[in-house]
Amino acid sequence: MNKFTSIIGVYSIRMRMPRFISFLGLILLAGCSRPQSIATAPQAPASQSGMVSSIAATATARQPVYTLFSPRLVGKGESVLLFFAQAADPFSSQSDRTLQTVYASGSALLSTYRLDYGSSTGARFTYGVIVPDTFVLLSPDGARKTNVIHPSETELRTLLGPSRQ
């Protein structure tokens, strides 16, 4: 065996070895990964102001809630209010504080579902929302009744107070 073939032999082994090790590593990673659960509990969005501190499992007609939006909660025979909020928006923060106060006092007769303005582009298009801090009142069948942009505290309490059935 001459000097030239021994160099080529060493070179080809050195080139194949990293590929082989990479291939084994991928097989190992694929085999060790555990399947993720399909049904997971919804998580509140992380925000600087701590908006929406808890999540209700279901909305009932007897007890209105202020929670995160889920499509399965709309159009179930009761009017609801959608709140398109953005964490960095001062108007959304003020409306969030008002909503927390109203729901803590138990004076709301209507459930409110919070949507993240930035990530809910489909719902924004469906309900005609163009700016954060917009409230959309939906009829019992899920159709839009009205939009309110940057409501005052009085307007917001009026939206939540009277029964919209």
Number of domains comprising the chain = 2
In a domain, 53, yes or no: no
Residue-averaged pLDDT of the chain: 74
On the question of pLDDT at 23 being above 90, the answer is no
Question: According to the model, what pLDDT value does residue 24 have?
Answer: 53
> What CATH number is attached to the domain comprising 76?
3.40.30.10
Q: At what angle do helices 90-105 and 153-160 cross, to 10 degrees?
A: 40
Domain shared by 94 and 137, yes or no: yes
pLDDT per residue as tens digits for the range 53-105: 444 444 444 588 999 988 887 877 888 999 999 989 999 999 999 999 999 98
Question: According to the model, what pLDDT value does residue 43 have?
Answer: 42
pLDDT per residue as tens digits for the range 114-124: 999 999 999 99
On the question of pLDDT at 145 being above 60, the answer is yes
In a domain, 90, yes or no: yes
Lookup result for tokens 């009932």: 60
Assigned token pair, 43: 């998580």
Question: According to the model, what pLDDT value does residue 20 have?
Answer: 57
Which among 64, 71, 144 has a CA at the least distance from the CA of 110? 64
Domain shared by 27 and 72, yes or no: no
Domain shared by 27 and 76, yes or no: no
Question: 16 burial class (0-12, 13-18, 19+ CB within 10 angstroms)?
Answer: exposed
In a domain, 88, yes or no: yes
When pLDDT is averaged across residues 113-139 and rounded to a whole number, the result is: 93
In a domain, 153, yes or no: yes
Tell me how many helices (H) and strands (E) the chain has: 4, 5
In a domain, 25, yes or no: yes
When pLDDT is averaged across residues 134-153 and rounded to a whole number, the result is: 92
Domain shared by 83 and 152, yes or no: yes
Selected residue with higher pLDDT from 108 and 4: 108
Which is it for strands 111-116 and 80-85: parallel, antiparallel or unpaired?
Answer: parallel
Domain shared by 72 and 145, yes or no: yes
When pLDDT is averaged across residues 10-24 and rounded to a whole number, the result is: 57
Domain shared by 84 and 141, yes or no: yes
In a domain, 145, yes or no: yes
What pTM, to 2 d.p., does this model score?
0.61
Helices (H), the chain: 3-32, 90-105, 121-127, 153-160
In a domain, 58, yes or no: no
On the question of pLDDT at 49 being above 70, the answer is no
Question: According to the model, what pLDDT value does residue 74 have?
Answer: 80
Domain shared by 9 and 79, yes or no: no
Is-contact 165 140, C-beta < 8 A? yes
Range of the domain at 22: 1-32
In a domain, 117, yes or no: yes
**Separation CA 61–CA 138 (nearest Å):** 15
Question: According to the model, what pLDDT value does residue 75 have?
Answer: 74
Lookup result for tokens 């509990």: 41
